[in-house]
């Protein structure tokens, strides 16, 4: 699978800000790419750092004023899966900030009658898809899976957090992946889930808004706290606008919600 992807972030910095950007594809995806950070027309150095599962982030110190972050890339599916280790099946069973899988209020929602882990994953994903409504602005940045279940609505990260929390509560390791998603409408960064099934990580998406076969991995972690496209460590920086593009080179594969899909 090949695609062209791009990002433009415009930030208004009120006070010198130390920020971390997670806007480029994971290691092994980029064939050609260019990332620039301009503050009032001047280049700003962004230090590249490696994170779990091939995630690549960039840290920059932004001066007061307007900053424009721009990324353009030609990507192709790597030949090998994202790095993983034996501890991942433990790490991604633990509760996390946005997926409090140890909360007893999730017990009933996580209860499944299935003969295999794959059937359990399918049942939970279908349950989330049927229970939630996709509504832009329905949730806030601090909302957890419990908040989303109570409201019955949210956006992709909310769907992902509910799916992750229920899978973990059912004893199935699960993690969040931010992706570029060709075919997504409206276009934006997209949050999906990888579930550990029969010794491998399989991607699922209860929103069903884009074909999983075309997803491009950006960042992988416990939940949105690990995968946010922008994190301000200090200072004050307001996000003025964000524009994301992801266009498949070739025809889009039709999505089959029951198909097994692996994300490289």
- What is the per-residue pLDDT across 183-216, written as a single tens digit (0 to 9) for each? 999 999 999 999 999 999 999 999 999 999 999 9
Per the prediction, the chain carries an average pLDDT of: 96
1: burial class by Cβ within 10 Å (0-12, 13-18, 19+)? middle
Segment holding 145, helix H or strand E: helix 145-151
What are the tens digits of pLDDT across the range 36-69?
999 988 999 999 999 999 999 999 999 999 999 9
Q: Where are the beta strands (DSSP E) in 148-264?
A: 153-154, 174-180, 190-197, 200-204, 216-221, 230-248
Handedness of CA 147, 152, 154, 160 (dihedral sign): positive
Instruction: Name the percent of the chain lying above pLDDT 70.
Output: 100
pTM of the model: 0.96
**CATH topology for the 2-79+229-248 domain:** Immunoglobulin-like (2.60.40)
Indicate whether 83 pLDDT > 90.
Answer: no
**CATH topology for the 88-226 domain:** C8orf32 fold (3.10.620)
d(CA 149, CA 109): 9
pLDDT at 81: 85
Distant-in-sequence, close-in-space partners of 50: CB < 8 Å, separation ≥ 6:
27, 56, 57
Which sequence spans correspond to the domains of the chain?
2-79+229-248, 88-226
Residue 62 contacts residue 44 (beta carbons within 8 Å): yes
């Amino acid at each position: 699978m090949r695609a062209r992807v791009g990002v433009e972030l415009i930030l208004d910095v009120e006070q010198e800000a130390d920020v971390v950007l997670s806007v480029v594809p994971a290691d092994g995806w980029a064939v050609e790419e260019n990332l620039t950070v301009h503050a009032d027309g001047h280049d700003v150095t962004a230090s590249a750092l490696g994170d779990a599962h091939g995630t690549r982030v960039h840290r920059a110190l932004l001066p007061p004023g307007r900053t424009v972050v721009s990324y353009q890339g030609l990507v192709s599916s790597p030949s090998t899966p994202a790095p993983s280790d034996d501890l991942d099946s433990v790490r991604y069973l633990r509760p996390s900030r946005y997926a409090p899988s140890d909360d007893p209020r999730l017990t009933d929602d996580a209860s499944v009658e299935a003969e295999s882990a794959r059937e359990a994953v399918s049942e939970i994903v279908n349950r989330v898809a049927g229970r939630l409504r996709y509504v832009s602005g329905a949730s806030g940045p601090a909302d957890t899976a419990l908040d989303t279940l109570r409201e019955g609505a949210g956006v992709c990260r909310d769907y992902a957090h509910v799916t992750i929390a229920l899978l973990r509560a059912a004893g199935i390791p699960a993690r969040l992946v931010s992706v570029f998603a060709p075919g997504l409408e409206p276009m934006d960064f997209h949050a999906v889930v990888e579930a550990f099934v029969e010794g491998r990580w399989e991607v699922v998406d209860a929103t069903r808004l884009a074909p999983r076969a075309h997803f491009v991995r950006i960042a992988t972690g416990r939940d949105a706290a690990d995968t946010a496209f922008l994190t301000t460590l200090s200072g004050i920086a307001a996000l003025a606008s964000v524009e994301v593009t992801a266009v498949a080179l070739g025809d889009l594969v039709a999505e089959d919600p029951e198909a097994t899909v692996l994300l490289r």
